[in-house]
Amino acid sequence: MKTLLILRHAKSSWKHDHLADHDRPLKKRGEQAAATIGELIRKRDLTPQRIITSTARRALTTAKLVAEACQYEERIIATRSFYGADPDAFVDVLRQLDDADECVMVVGHNPDLEMLLESLTGAMESLPTAALAQVALHIDAWKDLEENTPGELLHLWTPSTL
């Protein structure tokens, strides 16, 4: 069994209207929420062996803040394919992972992550900013992951409920 943590980026700022969407930073509230989620991950003993994020500034910053708070010590992998992605884009990246990685976290955007969660679990859940879903995947090897691999939504946390 593999564990997939699905994290939507934290709250971003819209005050720099000259910036491209890809370059929007986090708000202070978003930075705090990312740290809160990272603490939750550490306390729940869910620190992943691998973190893969969208290259968008708000997602990459979220990933870094969460990684610091949960004491993740590996390199964060950033991929443009998680920006404006469908579930297949996530699956394609995940299928290439080493099977020693039992728990992996992906950081991205909506509606992409809501579609991924639904395709893997059948759960139609809203993922507000900095929401974290824990999904159990009934596979032994990442290469066996498919867009419709049956998974189980174990938990869904949001900063406002912590």
Instruction: Count CB-CB contacts under 10 A for residue 70.
Output: 24
Q: Which residue has the higher pLDDT, 54 or 12?
A: 54
Instruction: Please choose, from the candidates 78, 79, 82, the residue with its C-alpha nearest in 3D space to the C-alpha of residue 64.
Output: 78
The span from the first CA to the last CA of the chain, in angstroms, equals: 27
Q: Domain spans of the chain?
A: 2-10+22-161
pLDDT surpassing 90 at residue 59: yes
CB of 146 closer than 8 Å to CB of 152:
no
Task: Name the helix (H) or strand (E) containing 92.
Answer: helix 87-94
Instruction: Please choose, from the candidates 77, 75, 56, the residue with its C-alpha nearest in 3D space to the C-alpha of residue 10.
Output: 56
Instruction: Please choose, from the candidates 116, 107, 114, the residue with its C-alpha nearest in 3D space to the C-alpha of residue 88.
Output: 116
68-85 pLDDT tens trace = 999 999 999 999 999 999
Instruction: Please choose, from the candidates 22, 5, 26, 11, the residue with its C-alpha nearest in 3D space to the C-alpha of residue 130.
Output: 11
pLDDT surpassing 80 at residue 14: no
Which CATH number applies to 2-10+22-161: 3.40.50.1240, 3.30.1370.110, 3.30.70.260, 1.10.1030.10? 3.40.50.1240
88-147 pLDDT tens trace = 999 999 999 999 999 999 999 999 999 999 999 999 999 999 999 999 999 999 999 998
The model's confidence at residue 13, banded by pLDDT at 50, 70 and 90, is confident
Q: With a threshold of 0.85, does the pTM exceed it? A: yes
